[in-house]
Every structure is written in structure tokens, then in C-alpha cells.
Structure 1
């Protein structure tokens, strides 16, 4: 192949790959049209010698991945990959980093229920409140940064606060529960105001100084928190419905978006182009609930809905690989999460029950009732997945459970109204709870 372009043989080979991929993806009419225009039989396969013994499917996609990897290596000989590429439609300098700002640990511990631990002694955590921040209305959501150094909180008052975890850890919340936002340590380092309706979900970009938020005003907004004077987003995505949940791919190149509509969208960060599954039957039958979440590896993600179903999706072809209908006896599924080893799904619902599922089969492994029977639970694993953290609407508390036994080991008391959200750091025993008492409480196990 020379610099002037593709030769006739190269173009024919390219069209063979395109026709083959279209057939594999079910676009038979499109494949037939390309076949007719190029005079290449739709059943003809590209020669195996192009890439040695070929995989049975997705040869074009595999070649593209290999090519993109080669291009990245040539453009970034030091192995530093930008979060996104430049786009003529949007300026994405805010996503372009010379090096990742978060040092993300990939060897973090995780739960494996298949490993027996004879004589295991439960390491019971002792969480204590270290800091409280107060919004002007209900605090609805919190999110830790990938390296655990920052945490963001979102409120019904439409504000978002960004807090320094190190400063909160050094503060002592034992004496007073008022005026802590103005403590000498000043843990609140930014406050953003750009939404016009309550905040639903938050997420940190994995490699850039960017925080993303979504809200009932039908938008997703992006904030550059490296700019001290920046109070508003530098970019946004406009949806047609209430945006309920968002999650960045671990690479930072894509963003999952779930709304009041049942169709999940995947946005390319570089171009703002939205993609949906090519199989409509895979979509939910009701609004997407929090949380829509990727696995740590990013090759799969999990969703839940008001239709009562949990779905596990292939992160490459955007198709469902595991479906659990009526996961909580038909009740809304309020939150889901994938374990680090991708063996398990943790879920909770409006039936006040949390469950652990085998991801590959959808088989239920553990079911535990909360203290009440008709309230919404929100659930997450703690930093090493040895404990499960749940909100508890009936008692204004958050509860800590042993993952293996399902035993309740601690109640986190202090809120004066309903606990709506609980977030856990992925690197240490730190937790944030959010409540309709307008407060977010930062908890730490200092043993």
C-alpha cells in the first residue's frame, strides 16, 4: 500500500471485511447492497493469510483494535494514552492529559465466595463520622474519585460539592455538627452550579480533571475541577428525558447514560456521538435506575430498571449476555454493582432486600432482608468487598453487613432523616452517606 491511497486489491479486501461484519451483526440488507455495488459475493470470506489463523467472528473489529493499538503506541511511545482524541465538532482539551491524574490501583482485593476460609475471623469495621458537609436541600448522591483522594456530592438544591478526602480524614467531628464546611482545613474545595434540577448521579473521568454529573433537567454536564474559578460545566450532553445515571468506561473514552426511557445510550467522549444496541429486544421495558455500572475491566457493564430486571451487557458489541427478570420479585431494582473479579452482581430493590448473584448464570447466591420490608435499599460493596453497605430508609441509618455470612455488623447512625445514598472508596475503608437531612457524612474506619 503506498501513500497515494488504497489499491484495487486492498479496496476489495476492505469491502470483504465490511460485508462479513455486516452479515455477522445482522445487517443482511446492508451487506447485500454493499455486495451488489462492489460485485463481491456476500458469502466470500477475507483470506486467512491476512492475520494468520482468524477468529471465527469479528475479524474486522479485531483488526481495527490491533491497528488502533499500534497507532497509540506510535503516538505515545511512553505508554501514556490520552482520554480522548480531538474532534472537529467539539473541543476536548479538557479531556486531554499529559499523564493520568489518578494513580489507580489494579491489584485491589476483592471477594471470592468460591474460596473457603476455614476458621475465618470476621474483621468487623468500626466506622466513625469524621466530617459533615451541608447542602441547602436533600443530599442525593456521592462519588469517590478512582484513587480515593476526592469525593463529590450532589443535591436537590442543584449544587455539587467537591471535597478533599485527606482534609476530611484529618478533621475531628466529635464536638460539633454545625458549620463544618467552614472548618480551618476547608475540605470543600469546589462548588459547582450549572444544573437547574436535582442531581441524580456523578462520576469522575478516570484520567482527566473532569467530573461528570446528570440531573432531572435532561442534561449531562462536565466540569474541569483543575480551574479554581470554574463554577459551570465546559461541555454538556442534552437528552430528551430525565438523566438518571451515568458511568465512564475505565478508559475514559466512553460514557454510559441511562434515562427515564428504557434505551441505554453509549456516548463517544471525543465526538459526543451516541450509540445504542442493535438488538431492541435487549433493552429494558422501563426507565433505567441507578446504577448503570461498568466492571473494573470495562469489558462488561450491568444495568437495572423499574421493569424489575437486571441485565449484564457485553461492553464491546453492546448486547445482553445475562438477563435476570424479576430479580427482586418484580419490584424496582434500585442499584447494581459488579464485583472486581466479575464473578458476582450485588443488587438491591424496593423490596428492602439485597442479593448476590452469580454473574455468568444469573443464579442467586445470597438474599438478605433489610430491617424494614417496604423501603428502597441502595447498596454497595466496601473497599475490599468483604462488607456490604446499605442505606436504610426506615431507621435513617446505613448498615454494614458481612458479605459471606450476611450478618449485620454495624449501624451508622447520626442522620436525622432518610439515608438516600451510600458511597464507598475503592482504596480504603472510607464511606460517604447522603440524606434528606441535607447532609453528607464522611465516615472512616481508623483501626
Structure 2
């Protein structure tokens, strides 16, 4: 594990410095637009990024840096250098806007600061929904890209569908199909698995989508290629791959499998690491879900034994076990809040719970939605003001106020049979639901 720690520490440091880098980039863009008398554009960018319009930078610094960077890149290519995303072997790339600067996230709710919140529940905005596509078998999972521009769904029919969010919204307009023919929001369909797909994730910077499936594989798809249907790289695991999660750097990924400990892979070498204290844990249950924290210094697993476990992102050692988090029922999902102080979990005991990471204490409990059969998810909305999950008995999407834990609305799912999966956009008031009825539905706030 010393080798893994040595490799991870500079990556974590780099991740923590990204905020400073983004501020520097924003300042250079504002100064460039201002210096070229593009005042309106400069003001718009300054306002959107909270950058002073009169920011001081050397004249035309951005052009100078870009010119030097292009020269270095050209020189490296002539010398046979390898691009930073070494695992990408494709020539085509998406526009540089994809994954370069994730959309700003709203400041997380401070659950630790609020004590008496009863009677102060917020109203969940009204949403409209639309059936946007259908798989040939159960729609089992979904995932948004970090910038919120894409969502992918995986199915028991072994296919993956990639949607462009802007096209889904266009499809939902009243006159969408009367101008230039029907709008088709599915921009890619991938076929390369031989058993049902369990989970998906997007690379944080590159146009790569990964999938984990029952065929014991993790497959890499380059969605910049318009005609590619199959994976360009494959990791062959030893177990059913139930969940996948990219490290924020994109250089590592986690696989939650039927093995009790998550498998950590180096994306460039495919070398696999396991926890150094695996023999001391004494666990044998499969992992239903694994997710990294936003800066990658921790990850969490939700297991079939009902436990939630927190792991050090550098050493891969288990640092806290919340045994019986969902009693003897399976823990089906777990994810971090944006401030990385809490974990939201869901289980087949029909409960959704919020845990404080530092103490392992239960902070909030969201009750009133029955889920005992499916691998249900509990998710925050993009501002973390609300929690969403499924009621299997009523076939409704239940929404709680995240602070008061009171149910604020129940939305008819419009699926035939309860949805299997919910996934909320990280950037806007929109989410998708995937159903046992094979359908994929998109939900967005009514403005």
C-alpha cells in the first residue's frame, strides 16, 4: 500500500488546488475579453464566475500561455509523447468544454448547524416528466456527467444509452416535433456486455464512460466517437461488478463487487489494489454501491450485510464501520454530501439515513417510503435541500426536506411498477428514473 499512497498523495494535493487554478483561469479569461474590448462578454463572465472585472493580469497573458502550451504539446507529439489521458487510444475528442471546468456547485447545507427545524420545511418545486426512451429489458441504473450535460442508462438488455440533456429538454417543448422532425435525445448506444449492467460512471475530464456488469467486467467507452459501439478498454475482474466510481483525478477507479472489499484500479496500468487491513475486517458481504468523496480522500461502501463503511482514499484502509446501519437488511446506496461531513444511505429496511462521518452518529432519518425488494437509491437534489427515494408499494417518488426530515411531496412515478433507480443532476433541478417497465423518464422543474 506504500506504493499506492505515494501515487495518490500528489493527486489529492492537485485536486485540492483546483479551486485556485479555476480562479486563475477565470481571471485570465475576463482580462482577455476586456483587453480586446469585448466588454459585454467580459462582464458576463466576471459576473458568472465572481471575478472582479478590473482584475489585474499582464496584457494578453492568456494568449501567451495558450501559444506556449500549444508549442509544448506539438513538441511532445513530435517526440512521441503520450497525452495525459494515457488510457485513451482514440483520435476524436469532444469540445474542450466537456469536463474541463465543472459547473459551480451550490454551497452544501450545513446539517450540523441546524438544531430545531421542525415546521420549517421547504416546498419542493413542481416538476414535469417525460418518457424519453425505452430499453429492451429492465432499465437498471443511470448516471449524470459532472457537468450535467449528459446522462447514461444501463439495462438488463446489456445496452447503454447516452442522452444529451439539451436534446431531452428540446424534446419536452410543446412544438418539439413539428419543426425539423422528431428530436432524438439518445446520441450513442453501446453494446459490449454479455450480462446485465449494474452501474455507470463518467470520467471527470475525458469523454469516457465506464460500466460495471454481471459479466465480471468494467468497460471503457469513448463517447466522442459517433460510430463506436464497443469498448476500447476492458478490465476483467474476478467477481460480478456491482458498482463503479472514478476518483476525482480520473487516474483511479473503484469497483464494488461480490467480493467484500472494493477493488481499486489504476486506470493507466489496470493494476489492482486491495485494502491492507482486509484480513482484519472480518466481513464477507457483497458491496451494493461504492462512491468517492468530492476530493477523493475518502470513499464509502454500502454492503449487503446492512453496514456502511468508510475508507481512506490514500491507504484504502477501512477507518469506520457503521455495522447494522440498516439493521440486518441490505444497505443499497451510500454517497457523500458535498462538504464531505456526512453520508446519505438507503437500505431495504425502508429507511434513508444521514450519518456524521466524524462520529459515526445517525443525524437524520427519512421515513415513510417502503423499499424492501429493489436496489433503491436515495439521492440529494443539486442543492442538498431535499432527499429523494422510492416507495415501492405506492409507486411514488418520495421527497423529504433534508433538514426537517419531513415528507414534502409524493410524485406519482408514471412507471408501470416501481422505479429501480433515481439519479439527480449535479447542476440543476432535474433527475431521471429508471424502471422495471424498461422505460427511462426525465424530470425537470417547471419554470
What is the rounded CA distance, in whole Å, between the counterparts of 2:69 and 2:389 in structure 1?
A: 42
Aligned to 1:163: 163
Question: Given that residues 130 and 172 in structure 2 are in contact (C-alpha distance below 8 angstroms), is that contact kept between their aligned partners in structure 1?
Answer: yes
Mapping 1:382-401, distance limit 5 Å: 382-401=381-400
Shift of 1:375: 4.2
Shift of 1:396: 2.2
Shift of 1:106: 4.7
What is the rounded CA distance, in whole Å, between the counterparts of 1:94 and 1:295 in structure 2?
A: 29
What is the rounded CA distance, in whole Å, between the counterparts of 1:319 and 1:185 in structure 2?
A: 48
Q: Secondary structure at the match of 1:236?
A: strand
Q: Secondary structure at the match of 1:115?
A: coil
Aligned to 1:31: none
Question: Given that residues 120 and 404 in structure 2 are in contact (C-alpha distance below 8 angstroms), is that contact kept between their aligned partners in structure 1?
Answer: no
**Structure 1 residues 405, 94: CA separation in 2 closer, same or farther (over 3 Å shift)?**
farther
Q: Secondary structure at the match of 1:93?
A: coil
Gaps of 5+ in 2: 22-65, 74-80
Question: Given that residues 393 and 420 in structure 1 are in contact (C-alpha distance below 8 angstroms), is that contact kept between their aligned partners in structure 2?
Answer: no
Aligned to 1:408: 407
Question: Given that residues 369 and 398 in structure 2 are in contact (C-alpha distance below 8 angstroms), is that contact kept between their aligned partners in structure 1?
Answer: no
What is the rounded CA distance, in whole Å, between the counterparts of 1:67 and 1:426 in structure 2?
A: 22
Aligned to 2:46: none
Aligned to 1:124: 124
Once the two structures are superposed, residues 238-264 of structure 1 have per-residue CA deviations (whole angstroms, 9 ceiling, x without a partner) of 112211000000110001001111121
What is the rounded CA distance, in whole Å, between the counterparts of 2:11 and 2:112 in structure 1?
A: 37
What is the rounded CA distance, in whole Å, between the counterparts of 1:159 and 1:311 in structure 2?
A: 31
Shift of 1:114: 2.6
Aligned to 1:8: none
**Structure 1 residues 346, 228: CA separation in 2 closer, same or farther (over 3 Å shift)?**
same
Shift of 1:101: 2.1
Shift of 1:63: 8.5
Question: Given that residues 15 and 295 in structure 2 are in contact (C-alpha distance below 8 angstroms), is that contact kept between their aligned partners in structure 1?
Answer: no
Q: Does 1:244 align with 2:242?
A: yes
Shift of 1:358: 0.6
What is the rounded CA distance, in whole Å, between the counterparts of 2:317 and 2:91 in structure 1?
A: 28
Aligned to 1:93: 89
Aligned to 1:115: 113
What is the rounded CA distance, in whole Å, between the counterparts of 2:8 and 2:175 in structure 1?
A: 59
Question: Given that residues 139 and 437 in structure 1 are in contact (C-alpha distance below 8 angstroms), is that contact kept between their aligned partners in structure 2?
Answer: yes
Question: Given that residues 312 and 321 in structure 1 are in contact (C-alpha distance below 8 angstroms), is that contact kept between their aligned partners in structure 2?
Answer: yes
What is the rounded CA distance, in whole Å, between the counterparts of 1:197 and 1:292 in structure 2?
A: 20
What is the rounded CA distance, in whole Å, between the counterparts of 2:146 and 2:10 in structure 1?
A: 31
Shift of 1:389: 0.9
Question: Given that residues 153 and 161 in structure 1 are in contact (C-alpha distance below 8 angstroms), is that contact kept between their aligned partners in structure 2?
Answer: yes
Shift of 1:174: 8.0
Question: Given that residues 246 and 258 in structure 1 are in contact (C-alpha distance below 8 angstroms), is that contact kept between their aligned partners in structure 2?
Answer: yes
Aligned to 2:186: 188
Aligned to 2:443: 443
Which has the higher Rg, Structure 1 or Structure 2?
1
Mapping 1:347-426, distance limit 5 Å: 347-372=345-370, 374-376=372-374, 377-413=376-412, 414-426=414-426
**Structure 1 residues 391, 67: CA separation in 2 closer, same or farther (over 3 Å shift)?**
closer
RMSD of aligned residue pairs (Cα, Å): 3.6
Q: Secondary structure at the match of 2:287?
A: coil
Q: Secondary structure at the match of 1:189?
A: strand
What is the rounded CA distance, in whole Å, between the counterparts of 1:317 and 1:408 in structure 2?
A: 39
Shift of 1:92: 3.4
What is the rounded CA distance, in whole Å, between the counterparts of 1:441 and 1:61 in structure 2?
A: 38
Q: Secondary structure at the match of 1:170?
A: helix
Gaps of 5+ in 1: 1-17, 26-57
What is the rounded CA distance, in whole Å, between the counterparts of 1:105 and 1:192 in structure 2?
A: 27
Shift of 1:304: 1.2
Matched length: 381
Aligned to 2:201: 203
Q: Secondary structure at the match of 1:292?
A: strand
Q: Secondary structure at the match of 1:169?
A: helix
Aligned to 2:339: 341
What is the rounded CA distance, in whole Å, between the counterparts of 1:426 and 1:283 in structure 2?
A: 36
Once the two structures are superposed, residues 103-144 of structure 1 have per-residue CA deviations (whole angstroms, 9 ceiling, x without a partner) of 313543222113349895614221210442111111010100
Aligned to 2:134: 134
Shift of 1:285: 2.2
Q: Secondary structure at the match of 1:151?
A: strand
Aligned to 2:58: none
**Structure 1 residues 259, 165: CA separation in 2 closer, same or farther (over 3 Å shift)?**
same
Question: Given that residues 131 and 172 in structure 1 are in contact (C-alpha distance below 8 angstroms), is that contact kept between their aligned partners in structure 2?
Answer: no
Question: Given that residues 105 and 427 in structure 2 are in contact (C-alpha distance below 8 angstroms), is that contact kept between their aligned partners in structure 1?
Answer: no
What is the rounded CA distance, in whole Å, between the counterparts of 2:258 and 2:282 in structure 1?
A: 13
What is the rounded CA distance, in whole Å, between the counterparts of 1:162 and 1:358 in structure 2?
A: 35
**Structure 1 residues 65, 344: CA separation in 2 closer, same or farther (over 3 Å shift)?**
closer
